[in-house]
Amino acid sequence: MLLAALAPVALAVPLTLCAPDDPGLAEGRAALDALDARIASGQAEFMDILVELEVLLATPCMALARAESDVPLHFETSASLARWWSDGGARWLRSYLDPADFDRVFLPPDPRVALTLPPERPAQDLLCSARDDACASETRPWMISASRALQQHDAKQAEAPCATDDYTAWRRCMGEQGGRIDALPPGRMRPPTAGWLVIRGARDAVTPCVRITVYDLGLGSAWRARLCEGAEPRLQAGLVEVDALRELAWWLVLVGEVQPGVRSSLVVEPLPEGLARRWDDTRPAPPEEEPVETWSTSQSVISWVWTPPDDVGFEANYFTWPWSPTAAEDHASALLRAVEATFAEGCPPRKPSGQVRAGRMAGEPPGLRLEDPDVGAAPLLSWTPPSCPP
């Protein structure tokens, strides 16, 4: 539900914080304390909490909070509101009511929507219940690694510092940039541990060669083909490290769920010297700049598809190799490199059938399988490594 008190509105007069001796501050703190206790109890009705929050935001000393809020607050469930509250929403509200905070600016966390997938997606069966703390315990180190990779990527893409000659412009800029990174929605998912993962595509935009790799998520079997026009296929078979492979498959399924530009926790910034906290909404906001996309001949698009053992549905998508302006795709490339580094030639315990789905590259029809001539995997399917039993 959207809080009407925080929907964007044009304000007729410049706004400032309440004076330290304004009785409205004590009134607001009392209302905030009562609301905090009700949320902490976990017993209050969701709609009642929303009404109390609306009432608090409508008090005179919260006018600046209503003006400065970066995005409308939208809560779908009591759990999403409680998470926002504990992530820093309550502290953000209090910063407008405590004179000790008036020389700092608090940027609120964004409301978060839990990870959900439609029932027709096979990965929906891998989602964990919020009440099952043991579920997907093996992915916790992967989640930490992914979060760190997203943060480091965004740090490299940092924008220019916000100008400090006007408070309203500075605060708007900080709202757009401050503490924002790409992040996964709250929730956990078990890794795929069975079925086939097919990675297909050129590794650069210049060399007319396509690589096809078929991985067995259960045993780590790896079948590889390098197909270059006018040359004999280069075929390899062996094994890769299973945990690294499953981490790659887990992340590929989640890449499309990554939320761009999220502020997941409270950010506190000192007020720039010489600026007074005076919000003047009569000044127009600067025009938004169009994002600039870059592409290099060293990049290519990689297709992937995970087919579960029952072959009922599949997960498929693309990512840009070997680097991308998108943090989530960059991490996918890093995980693929990590898997490939563990490859050891040998005799895989399992061989894919021609019915395994092949994914879809640009210009191809949907629904292709490895046996389809357009895929080019026939040499791999009919091949047995010389040192392995037929």
| pLDDT tens digit sequence for 195-209 | 999 999 988 767 779
Dist. CA 378–CA 368, nearest whole Å: 13
| pLDDT tens digit sequence for 38-62 | 999 988 899 999 999 999 999 999 9
Dist. CA 292–CA 288, nearest whole Å: 12
Q: Is the distance from CB of 239 to CB of 332 less than 8 angstroms? A: no
Q: What is the pLDDT of residue 69?
A: 86
Q: Does residue 13 surpass a pLDDT of 80?
A: no
| Other Cβ atoms closer than 10 A to 154 | 17
Q: Among all chains, which residue has been given the structure tokens 């492979």?
A: 245
Q: Among all chains, which residue has been given the structure tokens 């991490």?
A: 331
Q: Is 285 exposed, middle or buried (0-12, 13-18, 19+ CB in 10 A)?
A: exposed
Say which residues have a Cβ less than 8 Å from residue 47's Cβ, sequence separation at least 6: 1
Dist. CA 277–CA 101, nearest whole Å: 12
Angle between the N-to-C axes of helices 46-57 and 23-41, in degrees from 0 to 180, rounded to the nearest 10: 170
At position 212, the amino acid (one-letter code) is: I
Tell me which of 230 and 304 has the higher pLDDT: 304
Instruction: Output the pTM of the full model.
Output: 0.87
Q: What is the pLDDT of residue 285?
A: 61
At position 271, the amino acid (one-letter code) is: L
Q: Is the distance from CB of 188 to CB of 139 less than 8 angstroms? A: yes
Q: Does residue 284 surpass a pLDDT of 70?
A: no
Q: What is the pLDDT of residue 1?
A: 52
Measured CA distances, 238 to 116, 124, 266, 376 (Å): 36, 31, 48, 20
Q: What is the largest CA-CA distance in the chain?
A: 87
Dist. CA 138–CA 144, nearest whole Å: 11
Structure token pair of residue 379: 């040499």
Q: What is the pLDDT of residue 4?
A: 46
Q: What is the pLDDT of residue 85?
A: 96
Give bridge partners of residue 357 from the DSSP assignment.
369
Say which residues have a Cβ less than 8 Å from residue 48's Cβ, sequence separation at least 6: 38
Helix (H, G, I), strand (E, B) or coil at 315: strand
Assess whether the previous peptide bond of 322 is cis (omega < 30° from 0).
Answer: yes
